[in-house]
Amino acid sequence: MLPFRGMSQTANAVRAEFRARPPGPFDTIATTVREVTLRRRLIAYLVRADLKKRGANTVLGNIWWILDPLLTMLVYVILVTIIVRSTREAYPLFIFAAILPWKWFSSTLNDAVTSIIGREKIIKQVKFPKIVLPLASVGGGLISFLFGLIPLSALLILFYSTHISPWLLLIPVIAAVQVVFTMGVSILASGLTVYFRDLGNVTGHALRIWFYLSPALYGTEQIESLATNHKELFTLYELNPFAGLFESYRDVIYYGQAPEWNLLVIVLAESIALLVAAVLVFRRLESSFAKVL
């Protein structure tokens, strides 16, 4: 029973008493994990709905998930081998090892940016944990990445069979680190877009710059040789999670060797920190989504 009968205090004092206290960070994370596990079916449904839509709206349907990374690779192969005249052996495989995870990341992020604002109406109608929306984007991206492994396998088997090694089995481990990182970025971006609509315009360009700054079309050793006199600059460069991720993918796919574990662990640590921060920020913003949208 709420004590508003026959009170002698002033209204403001009573109001202050009723004001809700925000939960601590540990509670927030625990609640979020619990809610997401409870709503895993909703996430699965959203992913399935998204796949259905994307498949139904184009003539070639889901074949595009295989064609898309292949065509992107083709563009860069033409650009780099014919115009820049790179002499690297098996260059298509070299860049494909980076383009595939990058496509996954960039398409997920593009999707996540609109995941909340695109569901404006249902948010104003039904109560549900909004975090499932960016997570569904991550899930959808993961599936298209899995499809992307088909052209990768084809490329390896048909043209570059000498590059096949048991280290390829580590792709899921590296991909798992990338999932954590992608979740963090997607959650943060989806929440912030509600408040800053221009974020959608910014992401496209930010992604492009990020891609060229990351060792996708070139190897890290090229950056390292450029920065021989400035070791600290190279360290800074390596802090980019995609430097570590691309290198790791390339180690197992192109070089057929073990990834640099230290680097991968650092990327994982960065990703976990980002994810925790993203969830905390998201939960703070979430309560006003229905008001701002």
Partner 1 sequence: MVSAIDVGRLGVRYNLRLNRKNTIRESFKNMASWARGPQHFWALRDVSFQVDHGESLAVIGPNGAGKSTLLQVLAGILEPTEGGIAVNGRISSLLTLGAGFDPDLSGRDNILLAGEFMGLDYRLMRQRLPEIIEFADIGQFIDAPIKTYSSGMNARLGFSIATAVEPDVLLLDEVLSTGDATFRTKSQERVRDLMKTARAIVLVTHDMSWATDFCNHAILLEKGHIVAAGNPRAVVDIHVERSEQRRNGETPNPLPPIVDAGLARIGLAPASASG
Asked whether position 292 contacts partner 1 by CB under 8 A, the answer is yes
Long-range contacts of 255-259 (CB under 8 A, 24+ apart): 256/163, 256/164, 256/165, 256/167, 257/165, 257/167, 258/167, 258/170, 259/167, 259/170, 259/174
The verdict on 125 binding partner 1 (CB under 8 A) reads yes
126 and 243 Cβ atoms separated by less than 8 Å: no
8 Å CB contact between 133 and 223 = no
- Window of 116-124, 137-145, 158-166, 270-278 that interacts with partner 1 by CB under 8 A: 116-124
- Encoding tokens for residue 10? 């002033």
Nearer to partner 1, 39 or 88 (CB): 39
Residue 43 C-beta: closest distance to partner 1, Å:
9
Give whichever of 18 and 26 is closer to partner 1, judged by the CB atom.
18
Task: Characterize 219-228 residue by residue with b for buried, 16 or more Cβ atoms within 10 angstroms of its Cβ, and e for exposed.
Answer: bbeebeeeee
Under the binding rule (CB under 8 A), the answer on residue 127 touching partner 1 is yes
Among 128, 160, 218, 255, binds partner 1 (CB under 8 A): 128
59 is an interface residue for partner 1 by CB under 8 A: no
**Cα gap 157→134, rounded to integer Å:** 35
Q: Which residue, 46 or 70, has its beta carbon nearer to partner 1?
A: 46
The residues binding partner 1 (CB under 8 A) are 1-2, 4-7, 9-11, 14-15, 18-20, 38-39, 41-42, 45-46, 49, 52-53, 56-57, 119, 121-128, 195-198, 287-288, 290-293
